[in-house]
Amino acid sequence: MVVRLRLLVVPGAGLIWGFWCGSAVGVEAPHPGLPFDIYTEKDCWVPYAPSGWMGDYKGIELDLGWRKNPHSGRTCVRFRYCGQEWAGVAWQDPPNDWGEEAGGFDLTGARRLVFWARGENGGEAVEFKVGILTSGPRSAEPGQKSELAQKIVLYPDTASASKRIVLSRQWKKYRIGLGGKDLSRIKTGFVWAVKGVVGGCVTFFVDDVRYE
C-alpha cells in the first residue's frame, strides 16, 4: 500500500490536500493495473482529479466528502448545479489540464467503467462520459473562455464513451462499456454533465467509481 500526498486546485475551492491510497503508480509507470479505483473515499485520493469544471461552472457545488447516505464507506461525492444552462465536471490527469500536457493512464485491458449513483429526488438526467479530449483544435463549449476553447489538444484521450442515465433516489450500479477501444491514454477518466432547470437545482451523488 502506498499513500501519496497530492495537491489540487479546484475552481472556487482553492488549494486542496488529498491522499492517494493504493498501489504505486507514477509518471514512469502509467499502466496501473486493474481494477483501478477513481473514487472510494475522500481521504483516499485518486489518480484523476475533479478539477475540470465546465459550462456554467459558477453554479456548481462539489463535495468530495459527503457523509449522508454514501453507498459504502464513510463518504461519497455530491454534485449540485443551480442554473438554467449546463454544467459538468471532468476528472483529469494532470489536474486542470485540457490537453496541453502529457499525462493520463494506460487502461488497456479494462472492459468497463463502473460506478454507483443516485439522485436527490429521482428523475435527474445525467450524461456520464469517458474521454472528452479529442485531437486538433478544441471546439468552444458554452461558458468557456474563448481563448481556452481555441487551444490545441496536444495530448488527447485515445478513446471516448458516454451514457445518458436518468437516476432514481436509490443507489444503483451503472456501467459504461469500453470493449474494443484504444485505452492507451485516458486523461479524462470520469466526466459528467447536466442541463439546468428553471428555478431549481440538479443534485446527485456518486460513489465507488472504478475501471474493471
Of 15-19, 36-40, 67-71, 115-119, which gets the smallest average pLDDT? 15-19
The pLDDT of residue 79 is 98
Share of the chain above pLDDT 90, in %: 70
Amino acid at 111: R
Checking if the pLDDT of 135 tops 90, the result is no
Q: How far apart are CA 10 and CA 63, in angstroms?
A: 11
Calculate the average pLDDT of the chain.
84
Which ranges in the chain belong to alpha helices (H)?
146-149
Task: Kindly list the domain boundaries of the chain, sorted by start residue.
Answer: 2-211
Q: Which fold has domain 2-211?
A: Jelly Rolls (2.60.120)
Q: In sequence order, which residues have a C-beta less than 8 Å from that of residue 24 and are 6 or more positions away?
A: 2
